[in-house]
């Protein structure tokens, strides 16, 4: 069973339908203690980084405990940004900090560049290394983005996308992964990403 964390900023219905399409069971826990027996955790999200304030200490502790047990975690869009230490969007609010660095606003919002922010639409993934989260995803595949802030390109980056700036589109370390785009809105490629996550949840048993 996969837990979808609800902090009132996530596209839970669409993510749940996409998971059902790949044969996975998902539920929305009402209390942090319900994470004790799950096989995987997904942090979906849209909107402002400040919304993650609702993931308070009991939830953080429960999520970290599952990570310590090797349970896979997937962050989607804002959920991926929350995996970092912080974001310029709400500098006083800490993220989970499982990936180093801070998320920043796309520089495409400056007058010197002609790209629009928010970054919305179908854009290309440039794969940079092999990873379980991108198994059977081809280099150059297109996925659907809608966001204004991005994560830095680091050793954990699996794929990058360019929109004014180049930024981390997919990251992975161990059983933790994040995608800046919305797999639930990205057609067959997005469903393959979710299949890979579901397969990882089975592999930990």
CATH number of the domain within which 25 lies: 3.40.50.880
- Least Cα distance to 15 among 191, 176, 201 occurs for 191
Question: Helices 12-21 and 187-203 sit at what angle, rounded to 10 degrees?
Answer: 80
Q: Which pLDDT belongs to residue 132?
A: 98
Q: Which pLDDT belongs to residue 113?
A: 55
Distances (CA, A) of 59 to 65, 107, 115, 162: 10, 33, 37, 33
Distances (CA, A) of 124 to 91, 121, 143, 155, 168: 29, 10, 7, 20, 12
Q: Which residues are catalytic?
A: 77, 182, 184
- pLDDT tens per residue, range 85-127: 999 999 999 999 999 999 999 985 444 557 889 999 999 999 9
Q: Which pLDDT belongs to residue 100?
A: 96
Q: How many whole angstroms separate alpha carbon 195 and alpha carbon 170?
A: 15
User: Can you give the residue range of the structural domain that contains 37?
Assistant: 2-203
Q: From the centroid of its chain, how far is CA 91?
A: 19
Q: How many whole angstroms separate alpha carbon 133 and alpha carbon 172?
A: 7
Q: Provide the mean pLDDT of the chain.
A: 94
Report, as an integer, the average pLDDT of 49-58: 96
3-state secondary structure (DSSP) of residue 76: strand
- Least Cα distance to 1 among 30, 34, 32 occurs for 34
Domains: count for the chain: 1
Q: How many whole angstroms separate alpha carbon 29 and alpha carbon 187?
A: 27
- In this predicted structure, the answer to whether residue 57 has a pLDDT above a threshold of 90 is yes
- What is the model's pTM? 0.95
At 46, is the pLDDT very low, low, confident or very high (cuts 50, 70, 90)? confident
Report, as an integer, the average pLDDT of 149-162: 97
Q: Which pLDDT belongs to residue 8?
A: 85
- In this predicted structure, the answer to whether residue 158 has a pLDDT above a threshold of 50 is yes
Q: How many whole angstroms separate alpha carbon 106 and alpha carbon 166?
A: 9
Least confident of 110-119, 145-154, 179-188, 193-202: 110-119
Q: Which pLDDT belongs to residue 205?
A: 58
Per-position b or e across 43-56, b if 16+ CB within 10 A of its CB: bbbeebbebbeebe
Report, as an integer, the average pLDDT of 178-195: 98
């Amino acid at each position: 069973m996969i837990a979808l964390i609800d902090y009132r900023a996530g596209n839970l219905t669409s993510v749940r339908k996409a998971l059902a399409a790949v044969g996975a069971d998902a539920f929305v826990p009402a209390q942090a203690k319900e994470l004790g027996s799950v096989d995987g955790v997904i942090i979906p999200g849209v909107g402002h980084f400040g919304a993650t304030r609702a993931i308070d200490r009991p939830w953080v502790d429960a999520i970290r405990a599952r990570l310590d047990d090797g349970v896979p975690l997937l962050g989607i869009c804002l959920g991926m940004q929350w995996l970092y230490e912080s974001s310029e969007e709400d500098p006083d609010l800490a993220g989970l900090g499982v990936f180093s660095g801070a998320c920043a606003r796309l520089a495409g919002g400056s007058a010197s560049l002609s790209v629009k922010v928010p970054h919305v639409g179908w854009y290309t993934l440039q794969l940079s290394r092999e990873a379980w989260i991108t198994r059977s995803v081809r280099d150059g595949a297109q996925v659907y983005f809608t966001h204004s802030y991005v994560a830095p390109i680091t050793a954990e980056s699996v794929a990058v996308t360019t929109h004014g700036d180049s930024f981390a589109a997919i990251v992975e370390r161990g059983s933790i992964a994040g995608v800046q785009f919305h797999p639930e809105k990205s057609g067959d490629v997005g469903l393959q990403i979710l299949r890979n996550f579901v397969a990882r949840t089975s592999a930990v048993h």
